[in-house]
Each structure stands twice: as structure tokens, then as C-alpha cells.
Amino acid sequence: MTQCEFINLRNEKIAKKTIEALYKRHFEAYYARTKEEVKDKAVELIGKSDLVSWGGSMSLVQIGLIDYLLKNNYKVINRDIAANQEERLNLLRQSLLCDTYLMGTNAITTDGQLVNIDSIGNRTAALMFGPKRVIIIASVKKIMPDIDSAIKRVRNIAATTNIQRIASSREIKTPCLETGKCHDCLSTDSICSHIVITRLCNPQNRIKIIITDEDIGF
Ligand code: SF4
């Protein structure tokens, strides 16, 4: 076996143990090795007549799911086509009443809890309530041993990487932009207003998680 295959084997075992833990907390969860398998599984879970929306997520883009939905004429709420900020906020509000909401997660604990950090809270709001179902795409690298390490990850890896992405398109001033680590700032530019722990899925199976070996997302 190659070095890569050993890593794949290890990752698959971690993913499958985490999936067992997610089921105990009433989530629905799956393992898909490749980007193509992840996209196919997500498409299988989305109803063809669903109104679909999504939260900002590199993972969704990297597996080609957003492109697929747009090319195949799904009914979508896409805030990226908003003409201005007011229209964008309206689309974000409407997304909370869609059928299927797609997103990544910033971390998952090995005992099956989700940890997410959000700026204005549209993504974490949809995760908690509103859309009939939520489908989450997550790389195995997001799996952390416990809540403390998951929160450290969302602050020091997810948020601090995301801030570099945001700063490439608009002016932003946060200490992490300079140092690459979280300073627990109170800046008006902070993207860390909400840190949400989802410890159970209620109603059962509303949140569906596809874990992959692929190195996607932050
Ligand atoms: S420094 Fe501020 S914006 Fe940056 S990760 Fe920490 S809380 Fe978030």
C-alpha cells in the first residue's frame, strides 16, 4: 500500500466512528471518499422540486455542487446575484424558509457535535431552524477530539483563514488578519459574532452530514 492509501484508511476509520456518534445524536450521516461521490450523495438527498439555498462555503464550491444546481435548473435562492446589500440581506432572510439548505461546518467533535462560527448569523440560524432540511459537507480534517479543540479550530483555523479570503475583496481590520491567530477581538469587522454548538439534531434526521476524505474547505 502507498502512504496515501494508509492515510485514506485512517481517515475513513475516523469518519466512520464519527458517523456512528452523529447517529446517536439523531443526525443522518454518510461517508463519501471523493468530491464526485460527495456531490452525487448530496444530489440524491436534495428533492428535484426543492427550493434550495446555501451558506458561504468553500466546500460546496469545491465539490461542484453549486454549479451543478445552477446548470440543472434547480429552484435556488442565490444571494451572490443580489444587485446591492439590501437585496442580499433580503435573500439571506428568504433562505431561512427554503426546503434544503446547504452548508459546511467549521468543526465536528468525535462524539458527534457540530461547532460553527458565524458573522451575521444567517448560516447558523438556518442550521438551527427554518429550512426543512440541512445538508452539511465536511472534510475529515474538521473532526476534532472534543468541544474545546473544536472551538480552538473554528477560531484559529476556520475564521482566521476565512478572514484572509474576505480581505482579498474588501477592506477589513481585525488583528487576526495580521497574525493569523484569533485575538478574541471586538472589532466591527469581526466575523465571529456567533459560536454555535449543535449537540443534538431535532427534529431527528433534519440535518444530514456527508463526511469526506477530500481536503476541502477551511
Ligand atoms: S481576531 Fe476577531 S475576527 Fe479574528 S478570529 Fe478572532 S474573533 Fe474572529
Residue listed under C-alpha cell 427550493: 51
One DSSP character per residue, 147-170 reads: HHHHHHHIIIIIIHHHHHHHHTTS
Q: Quickly count: other Cβ atoms within 10 Å of residue 40's Cβ.
A: 16
Across the range 114-130, mean pLDDT stands at 97
Going from the C-alpha of 179 to that of each of 51, 162, 190, the distances in angstroms are 41, 13, 14
Of 156, 157, 160, the residue with max ligand 1 atoms within 8 A of its CB, to mutate for a pocket test, comes to 160
Residue 188 grid coordinates: 466591527
CATH dotted code for 3-212: 3.40.50.10420
| Cα–Cα distance list, 58 to 63, 106, 161 (Å) | 9, 11, 11
Q: What cell numbers appear for 118 in the block?
A: 458565524
Give percent above pLDDT 90 in the chain. 96
The per-residue pLDDT for 200 is 98
DSSP state of 146: S
**Burial level of 106, CB count in 10 A (0-12/13-18/19+)?**
buried
For 46-98, what is each residue's pLDDT tens digit?
Answer: 999 999 999 989 999 999 999 999 999 999 999 999 999 999 999 999 999 99
CA of 176 to the centre of ligand 1 (A): 6
Q: Which three cell numbers stand for residue 136?
A: 452539511
**Residue nearest atom 5 of ligand 1, based on CA coordinates:** 182
Mean pLDDT in residue range 5-28: 96
Residue corresponding to grid cell 427534529: 203
Give which of 103, 100, 89 is closest to 131, Cα–Cα.
Answer: 100
Q: Is 191 in the pocket of ligand 1 (CB under 6 A)?
A: yes
Q: Are 140 and 14 in contact (CB under 8 A)?
A: yes
- Which pLDDT value is given to residue 4? 86
Query: Is the Cβ–Cβ distance between 100 and 42 less than 8 Å?
Result: no
> What pLDDT was estimated at residue 188?
96
Q: Which residue's CA lies nearest to atom 7 of ligand 1?
A: 184
C-alpha to C-alpha distance for 77 and 75, rounded to whole angstroms: 7
